[in-house]
Structure 1
Amino acid sequence: MEGEVGMRVAVLGLGSMGAGMAASLRQTGHTVTGFDVVDASRNAFAAGGGTAATSAAEAAKGADAVVSVVVNASQTEALLFGEGGVAAAMQAGAVFVSCATMDPDAARSLAARLEASGQHYLDAPMSGGPARAATGELTVMASGSAAAFGQARPVLDAIAAKVYELGDAAGAGAAFKMINQLLAGVHIAAACEAISFAAKQGLDLKRVYEVITASAGNSWMFENRVPHVLDGDYAPKSAVEIFVKDLGIVQDMARRERFPVPVSAAALQMFLAAAGAGMGREDDASLARVYASLSGATLPKSDGTKE
């Protein structure tokens, strides 16, 4: 099946990212079966015309590629090797495309276990968000064997605008993603600190946004997240808990390497503060509300007033 279109693909995890990826795969001619442990996600996928399985193993049976869109290494391990795991259901030569953000050591361990059974493992964390997932324009940071890349190629072509091939073994893709997450988490924290500091000084926040996005202090995260603060809208497009997890992984990796990461450590404390204040499942721009609560700054509310 290597290199062909019209593959049989299982997508495991049908949240905002997985559902969009499944839609992109279907739109490019692949036969997609999806599964999610959340009934509502599975039902929404079926209502949209997808084929929903009753278990992960059922979805994976007979698939040429299994795309895993779960949160972390422990969920990936359980999906592969736990009770009813897909490793036992996958056919020989199929590829498991792991999109979770995880420690590179975990990716290497999972790959070794699966490859010992005759299947392929592609370490393929992604970046881009739900909108790009739905249009097949993600960025994928992938590493794995030539066989894994070959088997996964039609899937990658369907879900991504950019695929970076970063090494011939699992772990490199995960490491690249963690560098991205270090920067993303720090930039979100810095953006929220800056806009809250501006609010404390009584500045017009819309003008602050206009000026900074045209100046050297701008960042992609400032440009993307500060509008959430201006609108007082903290519905989760990317949740606080994601960076509690990812910056925690950065700290673990750095500790093993005896490498100092003080800036990302400070950012992690702000994400922890937001999660501890009950905002863990809300948008990561909620860090601005933590800064505001600590300082007495006033931020916009969703109704246009200030809080």
Structure 2
Amino acid sequence: MTGGATAKEQEPAQARTLGVVGLGSMGLGAAVSALRRGVPVVGCDPRTEARAAFEAAGGRAVARAADVADCDVVLLLVVNATQTEDVLFGPDGLATRLRRGAVVVASATVDPVLPPQWEARLAGRGVHLIDGPVSGGATKAAEGQMTVMASGLPEAFEAAGGLLDSFAGKVWRLGDRAGIGSTVKMVNQHLAGVHIAAACEAMSLGLRAGADARQLYEVICASAGMSWMFQNRVPHILEGDYTPRSAVNIFVKDLGIVLDAARKLSFPLPLAASAHQLYLATAAMGHGAEDDSAVVKYYAALAGLTLPGGEGDA
């Protein structure tokens, strides 16, 4: 089935176990959301503080991915393709430890050519793969309202059952093979990256021209130029708070994936390329680990602007 959200499964998800590898901002939120819905969850992260946060929420935490191998569904919310492959096929990888019929949900943003390869390798061991990148950020993850852009064999979805719904607000069934989910996520990241960069550029233009920053934000949010990213990210600028909800370096990576995939397709992406350069420039200035709205600091340095919160032009 394609083009729609999954129906809620009739079987009780509580009877089955979810493993979450990667207890970062989204992984922790997904794991805690599933706990709240009555699902037994094992969370995995090498960082002591991440495990402590999950245990404080009532979950069981482990340091090694191999220790979630007895779970029915394992959600991988790691950073990139390299970490995904290490968790699955590295020396302590899950591929040789998961029981037959278990399901891996691979959720990192990756090149769409990779999930079909992982699907084939896991299938040889009787393990299912769902190509399931997510969107919504830390806030939606904590609310259990992430969007999952999922594709995979029908039997993989059947085996996963209601556990997919335990950490998501909507699970989109996008096709019967791995790779389609990552393709859709790639398009989402193209748009998100361009929209954030455009929001930072537009706010900088307004500041340079003498507009009041907060009034500018309020007017645009009530006008045709508004985007979800403008509405969501500009308050970080207004508050001078660049605590990373999603970091500049994430879009250095994700727009790099977008551009690499487009290059293989001989498809031009001038807007994405320009936005990628803005994230790279911001990272080169030393702001790569800050919130992605810190792209505004590139423009502040360029134009000598003082940003809300008292940040200068450095």
TM range (shorter): over 0.9
Return the match for 2:230 from 207, 222, 234: 222
Return the match for 1:100 from 105, 108, 119: 108
Aligned to 2:67: 58
User: What is the distance in 2 between the residues matched to 1:72 and 1:26?
Assistant: 25
Q: Give yes or no for contact 2:32–2:57 (8 Å, CA) kept in 1.
A: no
Aligned to 1:29: 38
Q: Give yes or no for contact 1:240–1:271 (8 Å, CA) kept in 2.
A: yes
Aligned to 2:6: none
Q: Which residues of structure 1 form unaligned runs of 5+?
A: none
RMSD of aligned residue pairs (Cα, Å): 1.4
Which structure 2 residues correspond to residues 174-189 of structure 1 after superposition, within 5 A? 174-189=182-197
Aligned to 1:192: 200
Question: Normalized against structure 2, the TM-score is what?
Answer: 0.94
Question: What SS is found at the alignment partner of 1:104?
Answer: coil
Aligned to 2:87: 79
Give the letter aligned to residue 55 of structure 2: A
Return the match for 1:149 from 136, 157, 165: 157
Question: What SS is found at the alignment partner of 2:13?
Answer: coil
Q: Give yes or no for contact 2:208–2:305 (8 Å, CA) kept in 1.
A: yes
Which structure 2 residues correspond to residues 236-251 of structure 1 after superposition, within 5 A? 236-251=244-259
Give the letter aligned to residue 223 of structure 1: Q
Question: What SS is found at the alignment partner of 1:162?
Answer: strand
Aligned to 1:110: 118
Which structure 1 residue ranges, 4+ long, deviate > 3 Å from structure 2? none
Give the letter aligned to residue 51 of structure 1: R
1:119 to 2:127 alignment: yes
- The percent of aligned pairs where both chains have the same amino acid is 52
Q: Give yes or no for contact 1:200–1:298 (8 Å, CA) kept in 2.
A: no
Structure 1 residue 146: deviation in Å? 0.6
Aligned to 1:158: 166
1:47 to 2:46 alignment: no
Aligned to 2:302: 294
Structure 1 residue 306: deviation in Å? 5.7
Q: Which residues of structure 2 form unaligned runs of 5+?
A: 1-9
Summarize the Cα distance change of 1:130–1:56 in structure 2 as closer, same or farther, 3 Å threshold.
same
- Map Cα deviations across residues 242-284 of structure 1 (whole Å, 9 max, x no partner): 1001100011011000000000000000000111111111000
User: What is the distance in 2 between the residues matched to 1:154 and 1:281?
Assistant: 35
Q: Give yes or no for contact 1:3–1:150 (8 Å, CA) kept in 2.
A: no
Structure 1 residue 33: deviation in Å? 0.8
- Map Cα deviations across residues 89-115 of structure 1 (whole Å, 9 max, x no partner): 111100001111111101111111111
Question: What SS is found at the alignment partner of 1:93?
Answer: coil
Summarize the Cα distance change of 1:115–1:15 in structure 2 as closer, same or farther, 3 Å threshold.
same
1:265 to 2:239 alignment: no
User: What is the distance in 2 between the residues matched to 1:165 and 1:64?
Assistant: 20
Aligned length: 303
Give the letter aligned to residue 145 of structure 2: E
Larger mean Cα displacement after TM superposition, 34-43 or 257-266: 34-43
Q: Give yes or no for contact 1:122–1:143 (8 Å, CA) kept in 2.
A: yes
